[in-house]
Amino acid sequence: MSGFSAQWLDLREPVDHRSRNVDLGRRLARHFEGWRPITVVDLGCGTGSNLRATAPLLGPDQSWTLVDYDQALLDAAAQRLTAWADGADQQDNRLILFKGAKRLTVEFRRADIAGDLDTTLGASANLITASAFFDLVSAEFIARFAAAVARRRCAFYTVLTYDGDQRWTPEHEADAAMAEAFHAHQARDKGFGAAAGPNAPDVLGEAFTSAGYSVEESDSAWRLGEADAALITDLARGFADAVRETAQVDAQLIADWAAVTRSAAIVGHTDTLALPPA
Ligand SMILES: C[S@@+](CC[C@H](N)C(=O)[O-])C[C@H]1O[C@@H](n2cnc3c(N)ncnc32)[C@H](O)[C@@H]1O
């Protein structure tokens, strides 16, 4: 169990998909135009949301490896991908999916990404990707990771990395103190050393630029409104729980903040596309 429930990932998936930066997705699609087959590794795949959003941008013949250390999420991914596809077959330990005119081979790998990176990334990926993952890792891991990707000369595309911006409607006097404490909580070790948290987009950009990659970053903020009431409620509850653990904000103030019914929220994210030198 990773602490990320399939229910939470289900709740955020439609918002994640509509928030992804469309121009950067098109740029990715242009880079891979005409590639057949294309081999993709998805890090911290959860229930497979990133595949469902990224596969439509890529060619007709795709081979995916989905990596997570949570077996329950990998099992949920296999179920949800089978339901998402127009048709599915099982071949050995692979799932073959048919979606529109595309054929996707999907392998599931249970692994701790903080461990042996070379085994996790494999030798043949054309694209390494992730969604809502890189704010969990440390700057040291990102440096090691960028070097490993650069050795493979493959493309890197990661979406929905938290960038530190958060705005709530209505505003509350404790918003700034809550955000500061939340960011302190985000910097805690999530298994990779002190997490980069909201600095992750900048750290990624610098690491890939230093590796000689061409890096583009674009906004993918969640812009939540009344139709997203369930997500706003869960999000505010999660923020309040995290802040409580830091003991940086007075308990009564946290309780007052958590008691507010919010009609809207913005949570800043960045999408990053890093392409190898020609
Ligand atoms: C915020 S969730 C994102 C899931 C999915 N990519 C999505 O967009 O819905 C982060 C994912 O990273 C996985 N994860 C976190 N640390 C990991 C590690 N050290 N090794 C493998 N997976 C990890 C979690 O199990 C979880 O599925």
Reading the chain (278 residues) residue by residue, the pLDDT tens digits are 467 999 999 999 999 999 999 999 999 999 999 999 999 999 999 999 999 999 999 999 999 999 999 999 999 999 999 999 999 999 988 999 999 999 999 999 999 999 999 999 999 999 999 999 999 999 999 999 999 999 999 999 999 999 999 999 999 999 999 999 999 999 999 999 999 999 999 999 999 999 999 999 999 999 999 999 999 999 999 999 999 999 999 999 999 999 999 999 999 999 999 999 98
Q: How would you classify the pairing of strands 94-99 and 155-169?
A: unpaired
What's the rounded Cα separation, in Å, for the pair 231 and 240?
14
> How many Å lie between the centroid of ligand 1 and the Cα of residue 253?
31
Q: Decide: 222 in ligand 1 pocket, CB within 6 A.
A: no
User: Model's pTM, two decimal places?
Assistant: 0.97
Q: Decide: 44 in ligand 1 pocket, CB within 6 A.
A: yes
**Residue 3: predicted pLDDT:** 79
Cβ pair 187, 195 in contact under 8 A: yes
Among 1, 5, 45, 162, which is best to mutate for testing ligand 1, by the most ligand atoms less than 8 A from CB? 45
Phi-psi region of 149 (alpha: psi -120 to 50; beta: other; left: phi over 0): alpha
> How many Å lie between the centroid of ligand 1 and the Cα of residue 2?
7
Q: Decide: 113 in ligand 1 pocket, CB within 6 A.
A: yes
Dig out the tokens for 132 from the structure.
């809502």
* Residue type at 47 in one-letter notation: T
**Residue 2: predicted pLDDT:** 60
Backbone angles phi, psi at 112, to 5 degrees: -90, 115
Residue in 251, 263, 82, 254 with CA at minimum distance from that of residue 169: 263
Give the number of other Cβ atoms within 10 Å of residue 251's Cβ. Answer: 10
> How many Å lie between the centroid of ligand 1 and the Cα of residue 195?
14
**Residue 1: predicted pLDDT:** 47
What's the rounded Cα separation, in Å, for the pair 234 and 255?
15
Look-up: residue for tokens 């918002």?
15
Please state, in angstroms and as integers, the Cα–Cα distance from residue 59 to each residue in 63, 77, 110, 192, 276, following that order.
10, 21, 26, 33, 19
**Residue 192: predicted pLDDT:** 97
**Residue 86: predicted pLDDT:** 98
Q: Decide: 69 in ligand 1 pocket, CB within 6 A.
A: yes
Secondary structure (3-state) at 146: helix
Which residues of 71-174 form beta strands (DSSP E)? 87-91, 94-99, 102-110, 127-131, 155-169
Residue in 181, 159, 175, 186 with CA at minimum distance from that of residue 262: 175
> How many Å lie between the centroid of ligand 1 and the Cα of residue 140?
18
Cβ pair 144, 116 in contact under 8 A: no
> How many Å lie between the centroid of ligand 1 and the Cα of residue 74?
10
Distance of CA 88 to the CA centre of its chain: 25
